[in-house]
Amino acid sequence: MDYKGIELFNEGIIIKSVENFELDHIFECGQCFRWNKQTNGNYIGVAYGKVVEVEKKDTDVKIYNINEEEFNDFWCDYFDLKRNYTAIKDEFQKDPLLKRSVNFGHGIRLLQQEPFELTISFIISSNNRIPMIKRAINNLSKKWGKEIEYKGEMYYTFPTAADLEKASIEDIQSCSLGFRSRYVKDSVHRIYTGEVNLEFIKSQDDDICHEELKKLNGIGPKVSDCIMLFSMQKYSAFPVDVWVKRAMQFFYLAPDVSLPKIRAFARDKFENFAGFAQQYLFYYARENNIKIE
């Protein structure tokens, strides 16, 4: 466990002496789209139907707008606080090539997010830029989610499959999803009708989970791995995008290696910790703008 305990204060809870928890590292490492940095450095996000604000002060983390019961029942797991990230990083430090990425993104934690939201969000993410992804997700949430007020501002929950099932393809297109609209519409329908059961898929072993997710339109190997890693706790997943490819080429492999070969190499090398390695490598490569000649 990476914290010493919690204290209550009038607006939420304080997690005491937290290790391996840096806001920028967690919320800017490509795993989530509904957390936004504020002018004071805090992050505000909407998850599981609630607006939450997170602040880091020295080694303590304040979480606003939750109580002790909610922390113990949900947010402790959401922020993966029961996991010893120091042990993972110590293992990775033995690899001199990975060590640089781990030290750079030392405060990354893998969030345990909601599978339906992540599935739709990462279908939207395909061949898309983060500001556009965030805008599209926010548009969907404004149109079909529920309003929540926090500190005088209005936020919106991510819509359920039942909410989105009512939407026409034209409605979805109006939210700036482009060609991804038909993938979202089809996936929502198949999930809503029970043809696809995300909880059942989550319960399967990693390789079956990966293949089952790819049966949904708009989901290839990388998106499948993202959904597995960020919402289904499948830590052998290794999403390979342009940044991870560059990092793997930069640190480990010849420049002409294919994406499937990079994925296979990484899963073999890092085994059940591949997903953690991927996040350190992704964050390092993107933040340092690694390029391969």
Give a yes or no: residue 90 inside a domain: no
pLDDT value at residue 292: 67
pLDDT score at 75: 97
215 and 247, same domain (yes or no): no
Look-up of token digits 């936004």: 36
Range of the domain at 60: 5-82
Q: Tokens 């501002």 sit at which residue?
A: 153
The domain spanning residue 204 has which CATH number? 1.10.340.30
Q: Are residues 70 and 128 in the same domain?
A: no
Q: What is the CATH number of the domain that holds 252?
A: 1.10.1670.10
Same domain, 134 and 48: no
Task: Quickly count: other Cβ atoms within 10 Å of residue 256's Cβ.
Answer: 7
Domain membership of residue 270 (yes or no) is yes
Which pLDDT tens digit goes with each residue over 92-140? 999 998 999 999 999 999 999 999 999 999 999 998 999 999 999 999 9
Residue 102 lies in a domain: no
- Please give the tally of structural domains in the chain: 3
Q: Looking at the structure, tell me whether residues 125 and 223 fall in a common domain.
A: yes
CA distance 53 to 43: 6
Is residue 186 a part of any domain in this protein? yes
Please report the pLDDT score of residue 293 as a whole number. Answer: 53
Residue the block writes with tokens 């790819």 = 214
What the block records as the tokens of 226 is 């993202």
Task: Please indicate, yes or no, whether residues 75 and 148 belong to a single structural domain of this protein.
Answer: no
Q: How far apart are the first and last CA of the chain?
A: 42
Claim to verify: residue 170 and residue 255 sit in the same structural domain: no
| pLDDT tens per residue, range 238-283 | 999 999 999 999 899 877 889 999 999 999 999 999 999 999 999 9
Structure confidence at residue 1 (pLDDT): 86
The CATH number that applies at residue 71 is: 3.30.310.260
Residue-level pLDDT at 70? 97
- Whether residue 100 is contained in a domain is answered as no
Phi, psi of 253 (to 5 degrees): -125, 165
Report DSSP state, residue 253: S
> Half-sphere exposure of 21 toward its Cβ, with a 13 Å CA cutoff?
28
Let me know whether 139 and 33 are in one domain.
no
Would you place residue 291 in the very low, low, confident or very high pLDDT band (cuts 50, 70, 90)?
confident
166 and 211 in a common domain: yes
Q: What is the pLDDT of residue 221?
A: 96
pTM, two decimals, is 0.95
Angle at 27 between CA 270 and CA 223, to 5 degrees: 55
Beta carbons of 224 and 213 less than 8 angstroms apart: yes
How far from chain centre, in Å, is Cα 75?
Answer: 15
Residues 64, 282, 177: CA angle, nearest 5 degrees: 70
Residue 99 lies in a domain: no
Q: Is residue 42 part of a domain?
A: yes
Q: Are residues 34 and 130 in the same domain?
A: no
H or E stretch including 51?
Answer: strand 50-57
* Cβ pair 110, 275 in contact under 8 A: yes
Q: Is the domain of 18 the same as that of 48?
A: yes
Classify residue 109: in a domain, yes or no.
no
Residue 19 and residue 53 in one domain:
yes
Backbone angles phi, psi at 34, to 5 degrees: -115, 15
Phi then psi dihedrals of residue 52, to 5 deg: -135, 140
Separation of alpha carbons 70 and 61, rounded Å: 16
Please tell me the distance from the alpha carbon of residue 136 to that of residue 100, in angstroms, as a whole number: 34
User: Would you state the pLDDT for residue 256?
Assistant: 80
Same domain for 176 and 265? no
Work out the percent of the chain whose per-residue pLDDT is above 70.
99
Percentage of the chain modeled with pLDDT above 90: 95
Question: Which residue from 57, 77, 75 is spatially nearest to 66, judged by alpha carbons?
Answer: 75
